[in-house]
Amino acid sequence: MLNPAELDRQYNARAAVPSHPETLLRWARRSAATRERMRCGLNYYYGNSPDETLDIFPSPRPDAPLLVFIHGGYWRALDKYDFSFLAPAFVDAGVTLAVVNYGLAPANSIETMVQQMLRACAWLWRNAAVLGVNPRRIYVGGHSAGGHLAAMMLAAQWPVYASDLPDDLLRGGICVSGLYDLIPLAQTPFLRDSLKLDEQNARHVSPVNYLPTRMTPLLTAVGSLESAEFHRQNRLIAKAWPHCPVQDVAMPGYHHFSIADALGDPHSALFRAALHMVQS
């Protein structure tokens, strides 16, 4: 195990990218402009909490595939509104995008967030016809902490969660700069207190400790400029889920924030690979 100072250095992505405030501001501005010019349905409630809302950017294509995107922010920051900028590339390619909110730490535990994402995915499947999407073509994706939550959705046993749900509710997943073993984060000083993690509950919400029942395809990516721990986490999920077909997209020259931009860039290798998965 790395010492606390090294854990901070490895996992504090904002400290590693001094220009991150400008990036976050650019995301917010691009996202606001996207919502102004694109057709979208904002703040659908998938649960009873004010945090349990999602935005839909519908494709004009009938019976479109659906990508459910879960934002990052280390489970304690950011908002679905910051990631509307992902919509144009996917909608232009015939994919409906849902961007999901969840309750943040420290008011909410990571286990609560997992439960909220289960509710969101179930709500989207149950309302697929109303939303104009194909319930047999629902994919989940996320960046950073959102990649963790997306992986937890891929490991979910949907008929156990609710008897009306199919075992194959999700057809595939896209996890970008994700975190799959949360035990090191329980010892990381800048996260430890706000996430309220100890080894036991960190293990409970770590995707590497679950095995999807189906051979669900998984697309992963991590930027070449990200820390060794993010690269280790990326390798770890492929090793933990050997029966799932995993495609890892090399992202040379990208850091923890610019790789999120790449997911919404129709010219990037990451977007092309994601689109290929969703359209297959």
Q: Average pLDDT of the chain?
A: 97
Q: Look at residue 1 in the predicted model and tell me its pLDDT.
A: 75
Cα distance between residue 23 and residue 201, in whole Å: 32
Classify the C-alpha dihedral 208-211-212-217 as positive or negative.
positive
Phi, psi of 3 (to 5 degrees): -75, 165
pLDDT, tens only, 200-223: 999 999 999 999 999 999 999 999
pLDDT, tens only, 164-194: 999 999 999 999 999 999 999 999 999 988 9
Cα distance between residue 243 and residue 238, in whole Å: 9
pLDDT, tens only, 134-145: 999 999 999 999
pLDDT, tens only, 68-84: 999 999 999 999 999 99
Helix, coil or strand: residue 120: helix
DSSP category for residue 244: S
Q: For the full predicted model, state whether its pTM sits above 0.85.
A: yes
DSSP category for residue 22: H
Q: Which CATH class is domain 4-279?
A: alpha beta
**Mean pLDDT on 55-80:** 97
